[in-house]
Structure 1
Amino acid sequence: MGAKKIKKLLHKLFTLNDTPKKIALSFAIGVFISITPTFGFHTILAIIIAFLFQLNKISIIIGTLLNNPWTTVFVYALSYKIGALLLNTKLNVINNFSIDFLLHKGLHIYLITWFGSIIIAIPVSVFFYFIVKFVLEKRKKIKNEVNEIA
């Protein structure tokens, strides 16, 4: 994703017609989804969750773009490392990587990665919730002040 596309998505996010709280919450949940090891299903999960909880669909989808093909390997590797560290697991994935290893330990690796991703996703999502909410509220305040002057 290039700088132009990111700028366009941020502009879209910050000009949505919804409350700052709802846009920020939707974005944060999208970020949370993006960090979980559900690559390929982020958008589908986001749309389902948006419909179930009446969230802002565009904001939640933009949030899922935080983890993309350029960042996925790093996010999932970090998730696995954190999960393995906290669960005190001693799987040597790199040295034992083979089809046989994946068949026998794949689910175990996936569950460790899930655990680690949740540990990462919670603070990252909360951080983005407050940042997006702050920017949207500031933008709304400035817009209201400009309208009062005009």
Structure 2
Amino acid sequence: MRVRIRRARRRIREELESAFIEDYTSQEVAISFSIGLFITALPTLGTGLLMFAVLVYLFKQLSELAMLASVLVLNPFVKWGVYASSYWLGQRLLGPVPLAFDGNILAAGPDVLVRLWVGNLILAVVFATAGYLLALRSVVEFRQRRELL
């Protein structure tokens, strides 16, 4: 487990450092990472990468590498925890899902999805905000150290 964590941290660091070296401003790298975290946190069922491609095509100021680095942070193994937390948060805000024991369990589906999405949007905003601040600080510090060398 520790080896996996070290390997994942190294991959994230390498991707972010590659993004830091690109010809983007610190703010552009940070906002790209933040947008990537926001999209990756949502339950997009794999369409997040397609959204990345569309956004990078439409907005030349976005760093593709920084957006892809966010996928390494919120990888498929971590996303299940995000989904569980999202549902828990949505349930805390909107109340528990009313379940009728009439044999029609599918009737609760829309209520479950609403709670998942509400919690997920809140967590996505929190992740994006924290990601922006951390990425901006990291890029600025990385570039300052690089200039000193």
Q: Would you call these one fold, judging by a TM-score over 0.5?
A: yes
Task: Tell me which interval the TM-score lies in, with the shorter structure as reference length.
Answer: 0.7 to 0.9
The correspondence of residues 2-13 of structure 1 with structure 2, limited to 5 A, is 2-3=7-8, 4-13=10-19
TM-score of the two chains, using structure 1 as the length reference: 0.79
TM-score of the two chains, using structure 2 as the length reference: 0.79
Given candidates 23, 28, 34, the residue that maps to 1:22 is 28
- 1:112 maps to what in 2? 115
Given candidates 86, 89, 92, the residue that maps to 2:93 is 86
The percent of aligned pairs where both chains have the same amino acid is: 26
Q: Does 1:37 align with 2:40?
A: no
- 1:136 maps to what in 2? 139
State the aligned residue count. Answer: 140
Structure 1: gaps spanning 5 or more residues: none
The alignment yields a C-alpha RMSD, in angstroms, of 2.4
Cα distance, 1:11 vs structure 2: 3.0
Cα distance, 1:91 vs structure 2: 4.5
CA distance in structure 1 between the aligned counterparts of 2:112 and 2:81, rounded to whole angstroms? 15
CA distance in structure 1 between the aligned counterparts of 2:110 and 2:133, rounded to whole angstroms? 34
CA distance in structure 2 between the aligned counterparts of 1:31 and 1:134, rounded to whole angstroms? 16
Structure 2: gaps spanning 5 or more residues: none
- 1:61 maps to what in 2? 68
CA distance in structure 2 between the aligned counterparts of 1:68 and 1:27, rounded to whole angstroms? 14
Conserved 8 A contact 1:32-1:125: yes
Describe the superposition over 1:108-142 as per-residue Cα deviations: whole angstroms up to 9, x where unpaired: 32222111011111122111111111111122223
Q: Which segment is superposed worse, 67-76 or 53-62?
A: 53-62
